Structure 1
Amino acid sequence: MRLIAKGLKNKLEYKKLALDSTDDLYALTNVIQRGDLVEAKTLRAVPQTTGAFDDDQIQGNAGKKKVLRKLIYITVRAQKIVFDGEEIRITGVITDAGHHESLKTKYHTLALTPGDEVTVIKEFWDFFALQTLDQYVGADTMSALAVVFNSTGKFTIYELRHSVTRVLVQGYKAIPRKYDGQGSVGKTRGKQYNDFFNVAKETLLRTIENRCKADWTIPVLLISMPYMNKLFSEYFKAWAVDNKVKTAIQLQQGFITLETSSEGKTAIREALKSISYKSALNKLAIAADGNEMDQFQRMFHTDPDRVWYGEKHVDYALEMSAVSVLFLSSNFVRGFDHAKRSRYAEATQAVQQNGGKVFMYSHLQDSGRQIDALGGIAAILRFPLNDDAVELEDPELSDYSDDE
C-alpha cells in the first residue's frame, strides 16, 4: 500500500491510497467505517444529453432517456463494506459525482481491486485506522505459495497471505497404489510419479507466470509426506538443470519442505505450526502472528487462569491493566459504532503503552475464525484475576447474590 496524498477537504482529514495487493484490500476494511466518505473511480450509467449512441451506450426504459456508461469519480458515504478475498465492495449513498448532479442521493457500490486508488475521508482517524496504515503503507506484504500433495495423485496450490489463504488451482494425475515389485519405486511406478510431477510442475510454473506476475523469487512451500516432497523437489531440479531454465532453478532453490500426514488446509495449519520449521517461516508475514496464537492455545491447558476471552471478561482485564497480549478479530472491531470503537482504541493503546502486544486477525484466516468463536476478543493476562469478580459486576447476578 502507498500513501499518495493527505490533507484537509471541507475541514475533514483525507488520505489517498494506492492498493497494491489483496492484503491492502483487507487492510482497507479495518480503516473504513460506516459513515466515512470514500472516493474512487467507477463505471456508472450517466445521463447523455448530446451526441449519438455508440457501442458503449444503452437505452433506458423510462422515457427512452439516453445514458452512457462512463468511468467517473464518485464519493459515497459508506454503509456496507464487504471483502471476499479478491475485492472490496463499499456500498453507500452518493454524496459527490462531479458535475453529474442527478446521481446524488442514489446508491452505488465501489468495487476495488489491487491496482486501484481510493481516497478515505474521515471526521476522526482513530487508533485502529492509523495503526493499520502504519503497518501496511510502504510494507512488503509478501505472499507465498503452498503445494499440497497426496499419495493418490491430487495436488492443490494455495496462495498464503497475511489476510487470507485461498485455493488457486487443483490438479490430478492418477498414481496406482500398487508397486511393481522393483523396489519402493519401480520403473512403472517411477514413470507414473514423473507424469504426476510433470503436471504439478507445469501447473506451478503457469500459476507463477499468470497469477504471481512471474515473480520467481516467491517462496514455495511443499507440504506433504516426506518422500513426496523429496521426489518432487528432485524431479523439479533435474528438469530445470537439464533444460537450463534459470528461473526454475532459482525457484527450486527457495523451496521450503514441510512434512505432514494431513491434506488440504489442515496440512497447511499443521505445517505452519511445526516447531522445526519456525525459523524458516518467520521471514514470511503469514506466520508472523502464529507464535502468539499457539501460546494462547497451549495456555488453555497449562495456565487457564491467565487465558480470558469474551467481551465482558476481557473488558475487566483491560480495566485492571492485566492484559499482556490482546487478540481481536477483524469482524469484532468492524462491528463497533464510533463510540465503542474509540473506547477499544484507547484500551488497545494502553495495552501497548504498558509493554503488551496487540494482534488483529483477519476473519478469512483460521486464527481469526478461532477468535470469532471466542466472542471476537481474547487475552493472555500478566497475572491471574478472580473470575468471580467479573460475574459479580453483572447487576442481575449481584441482585441474585444479595437475595441469597
Structure 2
Amino acid sequence: MKLVHKDISDKNGSGSVTLIPDEAEDMWHIYNLIAVNDSLRSTTIRKVQTESATGSTASNRVRTTLTLAVENIEFDTAASKLRVKGRNIVENPHVKMGAYHTIDLDINKKFTLAKGCWDVVALDRLDMACDAARSADVAAVIMHEGLAHICLLTPSMTVVRMRVEMNIPRKRKGSCSQHDKTLLKFYDNVMQGILRHVSFDVAKCVLVASPGFVKDQFCEHMFAQAIRNDVKVLIENKAKFLLVHASSGHKHALKEVLVNPSVMAKLSDTKATAEVKALDAFYAMLQNEPDRAFYGIGHVEAADSHNGIEVLLISDELFRSTDLATRRRYVALVESVKESGGDVRVFSSLHVSGEQLGKLSGVAAILRFPLPDIADLVDDDDDDDDDSDAGADKEK
C-alpha cells in the first residue's frame, strides 16, 4: 500500500492519511483501519437529476468527490472490494449535506481516512500495510482423494482460491480402471488450479499436503504431465514444492501442516508461521502449566494487572467492534502489555490460526509466572461466557 500523505497530531492522535491500495491484501488492512464514525474522502459516481428550462428532468451519472461520516463497512473477500456507507459531511454541488451515499473502494483507488484518534493498534496496522517488504509468498494445496483446496497464504489472510471436488469410484476387484481414470482427471483439475492461481514469481514455497500417499501420487503425475506437455513453469519451479502430511483435504488441516517442523523451517520468516507457533505454545502451556495460560478478556485483564503477561494473543476482529468502549478496552490491554514488556501477537481472523483463537473468545495470554488464584481476581461483571468456560476448564 502506498502512503501518499500522513498528518497525525502527536498531542491527541487525531488526523488523516491518504492511501492507495495496490494489491488485494491491502483491502483487508483497510477494512481493519476504517471504523464507524471515521470520515472517508474519495471519488465516487453519483446519480443526479437535473431540470431543464422547460421543466423536464433528466437523470445523469456524475463523478464527484465526497466525504462521508462512516456508518457501515462491508468487505467482499472474493472480489477484494470494500463498500463504505455513510452520510455526506462536506458541501457538494451534487449531494446534500447529510444525504446517504456508498463509496466503493478498490485496488489503485486513492482515498483519505480521518480519525478523531489514531490508537496504537491502528498505527501498527498502518505501518504493516505500508511495509514494502511483505508479500504473499506461500501457496498450499490441501487434498485427499476427490477433494482439494488451493490456498494462498499472505501475512494477513488464508484465501481459498479454488476448491476441487470429484466423486472418485471405489476400487473393485479385477478392475480399477474407472477409479484410476477418475483419479487422474481429479489430479489434472488440481494441476490446472495451481497453474491458474499460483504466481511462481512471488511464491517461495508451494505446500502439498494429504493423508497417505495421495500427495506423492499427485506430484508424480503432475510433473510427468509437465514434462510431457512442456509446462516450463512447473518444471522450473519443482524445487519450490514441499510435500507434507495432513489428516484430510479440508481447509482446517492447514494448521497441522504449518506446525510441521520441515514447513516451519522453510517458512520461518512468515507471519502465518509465527501465529501458528504462538498458538501452539499457548496450547502446550495450557496442557502442561494451566496456571500460566488464560483466555477470555476478564482473566487476561486480571493477569495484566499483575504485569504477568509474557505473550498476548489477540484477534484483529475484536478491534472492529462498533462499540467504541469495547474497542478502547482491547486497545488499552494491548498498550498495557507492551508497556510492561510483553509481546503482542495480533492474529488475522482470516487465517486458520485466527479462526482457532476466535473460538477461545479471541484473546488469550501466556504468563511469565503462574497465577493459580486468577479466577478470584476477576469480577463477575467482567466475566463473559468464554471466561466462565475458561475457569471451568481450569477447575478440571
TM-score bracket for this pair, using the shorter chain length: 0.7 to 0.9
Aligned to 1:313: 299
Please report how far the alpha carbon of residue 203 of structure 1 lies from its aligned counterpart in structure 2 after TM superposition.
2.9
8 Å CA contact retained: 1:236, 1:252: no
Aligned to 1:400: none
Equivalent residues in 2 for 1:303-382, closer than 5 Å: 303-335=289-321, 337-338=323-324, 341-342=327-328, 344-382=330-368
Please report how far the alpha carbon of residue 163 of structure 1 lies from its aligned counterpart in structure 2 after TM superposition.
3.4
Aligned to 2:394: none
Going from structure 1 to structure 2, the CA distance change for 1:74 and 1:392 (only over 3 Å counts) comes to: closer
Count of residues in correspondence between the two structures: 375
Please report how far the alpha carbon of residue 129 of structure 1 lies from its aligned counterpart in structure 2 after TM superposition.
0.9
Please report how far the alpha carbon of residue 295 of structure 1 lies from its aligned counterpart in structure 2 after TM superposition.
1.0
8 Å CA contact retained: 2:88, 2:98: yes
Measure the CA separation in 1 of the matches of 2:317 and 2:108. 25
Please report how far the alpha carbon of residue 179 of structure 1 lies from its aligned counterpart in structure 2 after TM superposition.
6.2
Aligned to 1:383: 369
Worse overlay, 343-352 or 117-126: 343-352
- The correspondence for 1:253, drawn from 224, 227, 239, is 239
8 Å CA contact retained: 2:208, 2:215: yes
Measure the CA separation in 2 of the matches of 1:50 and 1:215. 56
Please report how far the alpha carbon of residue 115 of structure 1 lies from its aligned counterpart in structure 2 after TM superposition.
3.1
Q: Find the residue that maps to 1:263 and give its secondary structure.
A: coil
- The correspondence for 2:280, drawn from 273, 285, 294, is 294
Please report how far the alpha carbon of residue 294 of structure 1 lies from its aligned counterpart in structure 2 after TM superposition.
1.0
Aligned to 1:145: 139
Measure the CA separation in 2 of the matches of 1:187 and 1:372. 45
- The correspondence for 2:47, drawn from 19, 35, 45, is 45
Paired-residue identity, %: 30
Please report how far the alpha carbon of residue 218 of structure 1 lies from its aligned counterpart in structure 2 after TM superposition.
5.9
Going from structure 1 to structure 2, the CA distance change for 1:32 and 1:171 (only over 3 Å counts) comes to: closer
Going from structure 1 to structure 2, the CA distance change for 1:336 and 1:107 (only over 3 Å counts) comes to: closer
Query: Unaligned 5+ residue runs, structure 1?
Result: 52-62, 397-404
Aligned to 1:164: 157
Measure the CA separation in 1 of the matches of 2:281 and 2:14. 42
Measure the CA separation in 2 of the matches of 1:372 and 1:195. 38
Residue type matched to 2:161 in 1? L
Please report how far the alpha carbon of residue 261 of structure 1 lies from its aligned counterpart in structure 2 after TM superposition.
2.6
Larger Cα Rg: Structure 1 or Structure 2?
Answer: 1
* CA offsets 1:146-200 (integer angstroms, 9 cap, x no match): 223222x333323333433343223345543326769xxx888665544332232
* CA offsets 1:277-298 (integer angstroms, 9 cap, x no match): 2212334433231100111122
Please report how far the alpha carbon of residue 323 of structure 1 lies from its aligned counterpart in structure 2 after TM superposition.
0.9
The TM-score, its normalising length taken from structure 1, stands at 0.81
8 Å CA contact retained: 1:45, 1:70: yes
* CA offsets 1:374-402 (integer angstroms, 9 cap, x no match): 33322111112222441468699xxxxxx
Query: Unaligned 5+ residue runs, structure 2?
Result: 384-396
Please report how far the alpha carbon of residue 225 of structure 1 lies from its aligned counterpart in structure 2 after TM superposition.
2.5
8 Å CA contact retained: 1:73, 1:97: no
